[in-house]
Structure 1
Amino acid sequence: MSEKPSSTWYVDFFTELPNEFWRRAVPPEVTVEEVDFVERRLGLAPRSRVLDVPCGSGRHSLEFARRGHRVTGVDLSAEAIGHARRAAAGLDVEFVHADMRDVPRDGGFDAAVCLGNSFGYLEPDGLRRFAAALADAVRPGGGLVVDVATAAESVLPGFRAEPRTMRTGDITVLATSEYDVAGSRLLSRYRFTRGPEELDVTAVHHVHTVAQVLDLLSVNGFGDFGLFAGPTGEPYAVGDGRLLVTARRSS
């Protein structure tokens, strides 16, 4: 890539066109399966208080709320938060427009979830602040699920920087990627098109080993880890495309 991506790329990335693409791209049954996983693995009681961060357009928050949980969703995208609020009529869910590190730190959440591929968005210092914020938000004994799409054990085996094309209805996305060895970062360039609209944006995902992820969570008071390759519960192994980490806040 010719340009140097900004370390705060996510501030301007999630406008209507990318958000609408991802809203269409994920089938409802995938959201149901992921929320099933969280409820099952964390043993959520009825009316649990759940923090969803970053929540995007609210697909997980809304599903948790439909099941009777009390939900707070936090996201930096004003467009996504607006969409989520419009979809939340009659549900016990609050959507907050804020940085993912600026979550309520009252220690009263029964569970926090960081789903999707957002765990690697932040620079190292920012990620440490995020982990500390999660620890301050979750009560002792409460649970955590972190979705890590860019674990080193997932990204690096057989890495190939081949372009790919994705379509949902009238939106087409051309995606290309490269691996920044010196920065341990996956750089992804997207061209979104919808009719005459065209948007070129770049995403940065910091790559961490599984051990680094667990150490970060451990020093912030989480333990009792589980490592899964997806919401159906298969154990995570090298080369799996997704890592779901479950954890428990120390008492």
Structure 2
Amino acid sequence: MSQHVQSAWYADFFTELPNEFWRRVAGPEMTAADVDFIETRIRPGARVLDVPCGSGRHSLALAARGHRVTGVDISEEAIAHAVQAKNGLEVEFRVAEMRDIPRTGEFDAVLCLGNSFGYLEPAELPEFVAAAAAALRPGGWFVVDFSAAAESVLPGFTKADRMMRTGDITVETSTDYDVVASRMLSTYTFTRGEERLTATAVHHVYTSGHLGELLRAGGFADVELFGGPDGAPYTLGSGRLLSTARRR
């Protein structure tokens, strides 16, 4: 385990019950749309690093299309599930923190999908950006999926409480905004039969301009912002920000 994560919330959050809920919610159509978008940036048979890869839905879909994929995630449960789902596909999975990735300069693309970009503390995020740059060959692509951009979450923000259900899993969510630290605090209560788990996720909020500055300062160029995998422009109120950038 990385020395970085002894007190990080995400080190313990992604156990079987939360992971199983998200595996059910993120369906194949959503995954296919993301992979279609990624393939607009990479060549056939590309070498791809997916970090954090969660239970491997993007890694496996990319491998099924002929790409050579390495998936990295801190959750041992998620990685074990991904390994079981390989079904003969040539994809490598590793348990590691998102900054502990191979900085070998061999990858054609590094993917940071599923809103994971905001997990790290602000002082730590540049280290991940630098690690992504070091993993890429010159001209390789960094694809960032970020739903906690300020332009997405702040217009009309109010404390949000909601309930979601998929099969026998119910999730109650309460989200507050910490104005001092510019972060969202989302408390989840997962229930399945008599099993109950409450955990809090932290997403640091950045403006889209700040995101671009982080990428350029970390060794990237040609930063572009999109409102989703259909390639629509990112605008105020877009629910999702997809950014692509090339390693200089």
Normalised by the length of structure 1, the TM-score is 0.95
Once the two structures are TM-superposed, the CA of residue 125 in structure 1 deviates from its matched residue by: 2.1
**Residue number among 113, 130, 133 corresponding to 1:115 in the alignment:** 113
> Is the Cα–Cα contact under 8 Å of residues 107 and 139 in structure 1 kept in the other structure?
yes
Match of residue 49 from structure 1: 47
Q: Distance in 2 between matches of 1:207 and 1:111?
A: 24
Once the two structures are superposed, what CA deviation does each residue of 1:61-81 show, in whole Å capped at 9, x if it has no partner?
000000000000000000000
> Is the Cα–Cα contact under 8 Å of residues 7 and 123 in structure 1 kept in the other structure?
no
Once the two structures are superposed, what CA deviation does each residue of 1:194-248 show, in whole Å capped at 9, x if it has no partner?
0000000000000011111111110111111111110011100011111000111
The residue type equivalent to 1:50 in the other structure is V
**Residue number among 222, 228, 231 corresponding to 2:226 in the alignment:** 228
Q: Which contiguous aligned blocks of 4+ residues in structure 1 show a shift greater than 4 angstroms?
A: none
Aligned pairs for 1:177-216 within 5 A: 177-216=175-214
SS in 1 for 2:174: strand
> Is the Cα–Cα contact under 8 Å of residues 144 and 244 in structure 2 kept in the other structure?
yes
Q: Distance in 2 between matches of 1:7 and 1:81?
A: 21
Say yes or no: does 1:80 pair with 2:78: yes
Say yes or no: does 1:104 pair with 2:87: no
Say yes or no: does 1:91 pair with 2:89: yes
Q: Distance in 2 between matches of 1:159 and 1:241?
A: 12
Q: Distance in 1 between matches of 2:242 and 2:159?
A: 24
Match of residue 60 from structure 2: 62
Count how many residue pairs are aligned between Structure 1 and Structure 2: 243
> Is the Cα–Cα contact under 8 Å of residues 129 and 215 in structure 2 kept in the other structure?
yes
Aligned sequence identity (%)? 63
Q: Distance in 2 between matches of 1:56 and 1:149?
A: 16
Give structure 1 stretches of 5+ with no counterpart: 1-5
Match of residue 3 from structure 2: none
Match of residue 160 from structure 2: 162
Match of residue 36 from structure 2: 36
Once the two structures are superposed, what CA deviation does each residue of 1:19-78 show, in whole Å capped at 9, x if it has no partner?
0000001111110010000101x1x21111000000000000000000000000000000
Q: Distance in 2 between matches of 1:35 and 1:241?
A: 19
